[in-house]
């Protein structure tokens, strides 16, 4: 069966879209990283939040209402935070410290883990970079399972701890993703049979992404991560700092910050859950903004079905009653959808839309 990495091999990248600049060596934002500013789109808006006390819901997973609240949040916003999620805070700290250990290396050491042009894992700029004519204030490290091959290049004698921590974190994130997904299906009134749950869970496509947003001399000009939706079913994001950087786009409100909440993880709906829910759950558009004073670190975990799984609106959801229930998307394999997204980014969803 095709692996997730194989889904990316058809869109090889140029080196300029792989190697991040050496952020340690720049004292001002270079032209290549300076984004045009319009009133609405400008990262400047982040300094203009007076009176905007909007915040995304925090859900205690031990609460008896957790299913109802999570489902409702998916429907209204496509994003929420969870507490009592069972991920030990010591593990979160270890992931952070291993991520720092990597990102604080000099540029020449980090490129030893460089993603290959047709590869999916390793160090590099964000995968969405080729769709924008400016570069982002960001460097990332992507893992799918064991990061051994990359870690061994970077630390020939000291790779073990990094691998152990990253593998442990992926195992626990996978279990949490399954738990959240089961809750969401329950909210939709779906049985495991309705979504072929055993097959969905077997060989699930997952990725772990370390994101680093170095301190930026002028954040008003720069973009940490350009606006996008996530491809898979669910994303679980850990943000390390009290400095915010993640923003979600809300109809009628514009860009809204998602402030880190101590001990909470951010969960958002991705394209595939949007499709399966027949657009009941929005695939939330989000971006990240760098800061002048803080080097920000986040850890994203992406959970999706196996590559040969067919993703389409859940059959029973589209059989209910009237026309408004009719399927809005044709079904595609996970592999095909990942390829469509790699080639077309935000146009991918409209390519499978049928009404
Ligand atoms: C991502 C993402 C946001 C952040 O990795 O897809 O949206 O704040 N990250 O790092
Ligand atoms: Ni994202």
Verify whether ligand 1 is closer than 6 Å to residue 247 (CB atom). Answer: no
| Tens digits of residue pLDDT in 157-188 | 999 999 999 999 999 999 999 999 999 999 99
- Atom in ligand 1 nearest the alpha carbon of residue 302: 6
Verify whether ligand 1 is closer than 6 Å to residue 208 (CB atom). Answer: no
Q: Which residues contact 15 (CB under 8 A, 6 or more apart)?
A: 117
Output the CA 137–ligand 2 centroid distance in Å: 15
| Tens digits of residue pLDDT in 85-138 | 999 999 999 999 999 999 999 999 999 999 998 889 999 999 999 999 999 999
Length of the chain, please?
355
**Termini Cα distance of the chain:** 32
* Test site for ligand 1: of 103, 136, 246, most ligand atoms within 8 A of the Cβ: 246
Q: Whose CA is nearest to atom 6 of ligand 1?
A: 230
- Predicted TM-score of the model (pTM): 0.94
Angstrom distance (rounded) from CA 223 to CA 38: 13
List the catalytic residues: 296
| Tens digits of residue pLDDT in 192-243 | 899 999 999 999 999 999 999 999 999 999 999 999 999 999 999 999 877 7
The token pair at 59 is 């859900």
pLDDT at 51: 43
The token pair at 232 is 């898979």
* Test site for ligand 1: of 125, 298, 299, 302, most ligand atoms within 8 A of the Cβ: 298
Verify whether ligand 1 is closer than 6 Å to residue 230 (CB atom). Answer: yes
Q: Is the pLDDT of residue 44 over 60?
A: no
**How does the average pLDDT of the chain come out, rounded?**
91
| Tens digits of residue pLDDT in 280-326 | 999 999 999 999 999 999 999 999 999 999 999 999 898 876 666 79
Verify whether ligand 1 is closer than 6 Å to residue 290 (CB atom). Answer: no
Q: Which residues contact 97 (CB under 8 A, 6 or more apart)?
A: none
């Amino acid at each position: 069966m095709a692996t997730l990495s194989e889904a990316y091999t058809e869109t090889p990248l140029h080196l300029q879209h792989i190697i991040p600049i050496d952020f340690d060596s720049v004292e001002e934002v270079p032209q290549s990283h300076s984004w045009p500013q319009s009133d609405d789109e400008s990262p400047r808006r982040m300094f203009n939040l007076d009176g905007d006390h909007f915040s995304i819901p925090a859900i205690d997973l031990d609460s008896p209402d957790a299913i109802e609240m999570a489902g409702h949040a998916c429907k209204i916003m496509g994003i929420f935070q969870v507490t009592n999620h069972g991920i030990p805070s010591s593990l979160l700290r270890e992931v952070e410290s291993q991520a720092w250990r990597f990102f604080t290396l000099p540029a020449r050491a980090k490129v030893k883990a460089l993603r290959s042009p047709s590869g999916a894992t390793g160090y590099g700029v964000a995968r969405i970079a080729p769709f924008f004519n400016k570069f982002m204030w960001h460097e990332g490290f992507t893992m799918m399972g064991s990061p051994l091959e990359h870690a061994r290049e970077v630390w020939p004698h000291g790779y073990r701890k990094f691998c152990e921590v990253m593998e442990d974190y992926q195992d626990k994130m996978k279990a949490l993703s399954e738990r959240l997904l089961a809750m969401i299906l329950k909210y939709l009134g779906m049985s495991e049979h309705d979504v072929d749950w055993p097959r969905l869970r077997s060989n699930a496509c997952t990725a772990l992404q370390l994101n680093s947003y170095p301190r930026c001399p002028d954040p008003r000009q720069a973009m940490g991560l350009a606006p996008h939706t996530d491809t898979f079913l669910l994303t679980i994001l850990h943000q390390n700092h009290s400095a915010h950087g993640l923003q979600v786009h809300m109809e009628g409100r514009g860009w809204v910050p998602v402030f880190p909440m101590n001990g909470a993880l951010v969960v958002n709906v991705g394209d595939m859950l949007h499709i399966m829910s027949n657009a009941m759950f929005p695939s939330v558009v989000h971006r990240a903004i760098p800061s002048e004073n803080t080097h920000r670190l986040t850890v994203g975990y992406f959970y999706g079905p196996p590559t040969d799984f067919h993703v389409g609106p859940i059959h029973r959801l589209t059989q209910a009653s009237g026309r408004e229930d009719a399927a809005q998307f044709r079904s595609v394999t996970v592999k095909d959808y990942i390829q469509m997204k790699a080639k077309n980014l935000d146009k991918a969803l409209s390519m499978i839309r049928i009404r």
